[in-house]
Structure 1
Amino acid sequence: MRNRIMRAARLLLCAAAAHVPVSAAAAGWDISKASSNFELVTLSDAELSGRSIGVIHMGNVELTSGRIVAADPLAQPDRPALARTVAPGEYPVTLYQAFGRIAAAGLRFAEGKPDHWELAVLPGQDVATLKDGEIFGYPVDAGLGCYMDAETLGLIGEREAQVQAQKPDADINYYDDVLASDLDVNKGSYALHRPVAGEKGNVAVFWSGWGDGVYPVFWGLDKDGRALVLLTDFSVVENADGRKEPKLQ
């Protein structure tokens, strides 16, 4: 595993007692120190190619309730949904690739260039409690990240039960017994996984940069505070540029 993922691992996963999230701007916390890659969602595919960043349009994730889970789907599929919600619907997922890895993952809700950005938080987390260099983010222990609706967790459990019924004497591993075949189609780097055939609710699964660590998620908002895009930054590139690999900091 590359040493450079330690840059992400050094960012702290924090817990706060407050119940109402506040914006980074209101708290005085500098969001630009958490990510320099917000421009990824504003550039065209051709412009990104000129910066040595590949774009993968992997399809739509189905949000049946609008409560979004961003997590390692194997290590923490039951992670709470983000505090901010969106209207139920189907939304496109875009992956940004550099140095042979998934550098970032975007989930687009509406067209337009974000007016400002906020750190995505869980209920009870408060950006005002963060110190310089700290973040809220999700921990990765299986080398994967995902976007899915909170209701889809039930479908994952249903699929696991189906596989267990087929192999009653075996210890079921969701990756080996279910997910691996979907990921193998794209050389293990991403998959739009449907836990139960015929049931609405799928999971956008993708490599988490160089591997394990703690990764922040950000809301790109318009001037009225409406969510345009969600972005997970896996600390592979800086300044939305894949022409030069960042150095360890």
Structure 2
Amino acid sequence: MYPTKKWLALWEESRPLLQSPSPLGEYFAAGELNGRRLALLPMGNLSLPTGQLLAGDPFYYLDCPDALPYYQPRPLPTGEFPVQAAVLLPQEGDEGDWPRYAAVEVIFREKEAVRYEEALLGSEELDRLEEGQYFGFDVNSGLAAICDQETQEAYRLFCDRWYRRNPQGDLCRDYFEPLFAQSYRAAPLYQREQGDWISWTVPGTQLTMPIFQSGYGDGAYPVYFGYDEEGEICRLVVQFIDLSQPEEHPSDQLSLADFDHQPGLSEGEIRLPQWDELFGCCGPYTLLLNTDLDHPLDRFTAVQLGGYDYLVRYQQPIARAILEGLWKEYPRLRRRSPWEGAEKRRRLPPVKKAEELARLLRPVTVVLHDQCWDGLPYVGVEFRCTWDPKFGFGVMLWEDQIVAMGGAETAILSSIARKDLDAQRSAFQPHTEEL
């Protein structure tokens, strides 16, 4: 889709607002930026037969027929181009963290970029753009990819063919996860055991695209074209982590003195203002640190601090996962409800979308469990709910993935987290599978 004349006029006016506020060139040139250590990770090549570029979540966007390439004010060269990631290394003492990809870059020309400007599709509402805002693409699988338009079309056909042969299968889990694990075994540098990147060639073609982890996970991330001194596009950068300012951890504000400590359990508070707005509450919420210690907690662990930071940073994705998980179970809840008539309509009203369920819930307690996977703890959330005022509603999560839902005790029982963790460990059997 080519942009309209009206959009192009707005784009010209808005270009100063589209400049990257981050020093993206320094991500790939400096070993340290604002006190944080960086390393470079080559990721193979990107095939660019048409010069039309796309970027997005490979399982929630690039597999769709309506995915669009970026509007390019200057043409891109065609051919094979190197890809590399700027890897943010864990800080000293962050035993529970792992290398995260702060940005991924495609190099079209050897000349350095002198400015970076956000890449757009040509349909964005530029008249609403304000300073400090960006458009970007959504990630829902924890992964992102960059590809040529021809590669994207071949990928879509591959997905269709795979699902015809595997109607009960899951493309990400059954096909790609083994490839990521194989990538780790072949090149473990700056990867977790399950793998964090692959350079994937669409079967039956010579079209290659990189697929890689998205920094801190799901979210919305901007894409920038880098322009050289002659005004030519020489880079494409997907930015996952803003390194323009020294890093701040929400957990830096935590103090042991603010917690009531008992053997195996410490009780404090957590403020989640985005939950206040979504659920119509007024925090703070009770925060429980559930440990296996036989003595009171004498220091926060890296897993507890990382879990606290994750909760504060990703309030919306976590809440969205809870509401969407409940949305799937809501018809069953209504069918099995003991309430009838007007009382049922009040306590379990018909809803048209997952977000409407927020008015039926009130968060009460957040639990950080000792059990962790990849450095992040299992998290339980206890709610008051309209349909079960006596026992409430509870969810166990890891990141923004639902592990279990049920009564309020679901959030508290560490045995639920332990059982899922054991299942994850036993299920992680790297293997390869070909189409």
- TM-score normalised per structure 1: 0.78
Matches within 5 A, 1:54-203: 54-77=39-62, 78=64, 79-84=67-72, 85-98=75-88, 99=90, 100-125=99-124, 127=126, 129-167=128-166, 170-184=167-181, 185-186=183-184, 187-197=194-204, 199-203=205-209
Structure 1 stretches of 5 or more lacking a match? 1-15
Supply the distance in 1 between the matched residues of 2:69 and 2:47 (Cα, whole angstroms): 15
Deviations 1:218-248 (A, max 9, x none): 111012210111111102x513x9xx64446
Counterpart of 1:176, as a letter, is R
Find out whether 1:31 has 2:19 as its counterpart: yes
Cα 1:218–1:23, aligned 2, differ >3 Å: closer, same or farther? farther
Cα 1:178–1:130, aligned 2, differ >3 Å: closer, same or farther? same
Counterpart secondary structure, 1:19 = helix
Supply the distance in 2 between the matched residues of 1:145 and 1:216 (Cα, whole angstroms): 12
Identical columns (%) = 23
Supply the distance in 1 between the matched residues of 2:53 and 2:201 (Cα, whole angstroms): 16
- CA-atom RMSD in angstroms: 2.8
Counterpart secondary structure, 2:77 = coil
Counterpart secondary structure, 1:123 = coil
Q: How many residues align?
A: 222
Counterpart of 2:44, as a letter, is G
Counterpart secondary structure, 1:224 = coil
Cα 1:30–1:88, aligned 2, differ >3 Å: closer, same or farther? closer
Q: Could you tell which deviates more after superposition, 50-59 or 204-213?
A: 50-59
Q: Could you tell which deviates more after superposition, 69-78 or 153-162?
A: 153-162
The answer on whether the counterparts of 2:18 and 2:117 sit within 8 Å (CA) in structure 1 is no
In the TM superposition, what is the alpha-carbon distance from 1:51 to its structure 2 partner?
5.3
Cα 1:177–1:156, aligned 2, differ >3 Å: closer, same or farther? farther
**Hey, what does 1:19 align to over in structure 2?**
7
- Name which one, 1 or 2, has greater alpha-carbon Rg: 2
Structure 2 stretches of 5 or more lacking a match? 91-98, 185-193, 251-312, 314-435
Q: Which runs of 4+ in 1 moved over 4 A?
A: 48-51, 126-129
Counterpart of 1:87, as a letter, is P
Cα 1:221–1:127, aligned 2, differ >3 Å: closer, same or farther? farther
Deviations 1:123-172 (A, max 9, x none): 233656411232110011111111101111222233234433443xx323
In the TM superposition, what is the alpha-carbon distance from 1:30 to its structure 2 partner?
6.5
Counterpart secondary structure, 1:188 = coil
Supply the distance in 1 between the matched residues of 2:169 and 2:145 (Cα, whole angstroms): 21
**Hey, what does 1:53 align to over in structure 2?**
38
**Hey, what does 2:432 align to over in structure 1?**
none
Matches within 5 A, 1:1-16: none
Supply the distance in 1 between the matched residues of 2:195 and 2:53 (Cα, whole angstroms): 23
- TM-score normalised per structure 2: 0.46
Supply the distance in 1 between the matched residues of 2:234 and 2:110 (Cα, whole angstroms): 7
The answer on whether the counterparts of 2:198 and 2:212 sit within 8 Å (CA) in structure 1 is yes
Instruction: Identify the structure with the greater helix proportion.
Output: 2
The answer on whether the counterparts of 1:160 and 1:172 sit within 8 Å (CA) in structure 2 is no
